[in-house]
Amino acid sequence: MTFHKQGIPSLIITLVFIAILNGLIYFFLNDYTTVKVLGYALSAFLLITILQFFRSPSRDFKAREGDIISPADGTVVVIEEVEETEYFKDKRLQVSVFMSPINVHLNRYPINGLLKYYKYHPGLYLVAWHPKSSTENERTTIVVENEKGQSVLYRQIAGAMARRIVFFGKEGEQVKQTDECGFIKFGSRVDLLLPLDAKLNVKLNEKVKGGITTIAKF
């Protein structure tokens, strides 16, 4: 288990806030035991929250040809056929993974291949399980195509708490399945848009692990 570098700015801000808070309590409210206890409790809660949110657990990542791996930890909240209007412009099988604030928020590539498309979309901050969050929230769209010409489109979608989406890749580069591809801060969702003939390997409300769980097979 390590602390991801994307969390360093948040950790610094949290530590500065904790230092100021406890300094003020020490100098001005030191005689009030209840205030001191509340201050310590709040400090511990904030620190633990940041450390767990930006954790990057050690896992046995293995690339599996033909498999489409979950890009994120979370719960499968949507499995349905939809009309994809941005890139493929045809019908696709959508599988959505909701990440709660206690999930790991590091994202990973679902397949090996060429990063053919990337686009950032500014937008709203509807709750991540809202049906319109896929098309109206702040989001990124990524398409990876393998050497057989099979493609997966997936979206990093901001939620009500998520205010920053980070994507590490660039169009035209070769990417590896399970490698880190991005980070979504503080509650979010990832949508996968798969070929209609993909063989699903998950069901609704199933818990999945990023870089580990097979969502479907080509």
Residue 38 lies in a domain: yes
Q: Is the pLDDT of residue 162 over 70?
A: no
Q: What's the rounded Cα separation, in Å, for the pair 164 and 185?
A: 6
Does 50 share its domain with 82? no
Domain that holds residue 20: 2-56
Q: What is the pLDDT of residue 83?
A: 95
pLDDT, tens digit (0-9, with 9 covering 90-100), for 26-56: 999 988 999 999 999 999 999 998 998 888 8
Residue 95 has pLDDT above 60, yes or no: yes
**CATH number for the domain harbouring residue 183:** 2.70.70.10
Q: Copy the structure tokens of residue 201.
A: 């390997």
Shared-domain flag, residues 188 and 133: yes
Residue corresponding to tokens 């979370």: 74
DSSP class of 6: G
Give catalytic status of residue 10 as yes or no.
no
Indicate the length of the chain as a whole number. Answer: 218
Neighbouring C-beta atoms of residue 94, cutoff 10 Å:
20
75, part of any domain = yes
In-domain check, residue 148: yes
In a domain, 170, yes or no: yes
Whose tokens are 């994202």? That residue is: 107
Question: Does residue 80 share a domain with residue 7?
Answer: no
Query: Per-residue pLDDT tens for 101-147?
Result: 889 889 999 999 999 999 999 877 666 566 666 777 889 999 999 99
- Same domain, residue pair 169 and 92: yes
45 and 129 share one domain: no
How far apart CA 147 and CA 47 sit, in angstroms, is 44
61 within domain boundaries: no
The verdict on 210 and 117 lying in the same domain is yes
Residue 21 lies in a domain: yes
User: Distance between the two ends of the chain, CA-based, in angstroms?
Assistant: 32
pLDDT at 217 over 80: yes
Strand-pairing partners, residue 183, are 106, 166
Structure tokens at 142: 């990524």
> pTM value?
0.86
Q: Do 186 and 130 lie in a common domain? A: yes
Predicted pLDDT at 200: 97
Q: Is the pLDDT of residue 80 over 70?
A: yes
> Is 72 in the same domain as 48?
no
Rounded to whole angstroms, the Cα distance separating 83 from 49 reads 38
Give the helix/strand (H/E) hosting 120.
Answer: strand 113-121
In a domain, 192, yes or no: yes
The residue from 70, 96, 151, 188 that is catalytic is 188
Domain tally, the chain? 2
Strand partners for 82: 92
Assess whether 106 and 187 both reside in one domain: yes
- Give the residue, 181 or 7, on which the prediction is more confident: 181
Q: Are residues 51 and 74 in the same domain?
A: no
Residues 105 and 204 in one domain: yes
Instruction: Tell whether 199 and 120 lie within a shared domain.
Output: yes
Is 62 among the domain residues? no
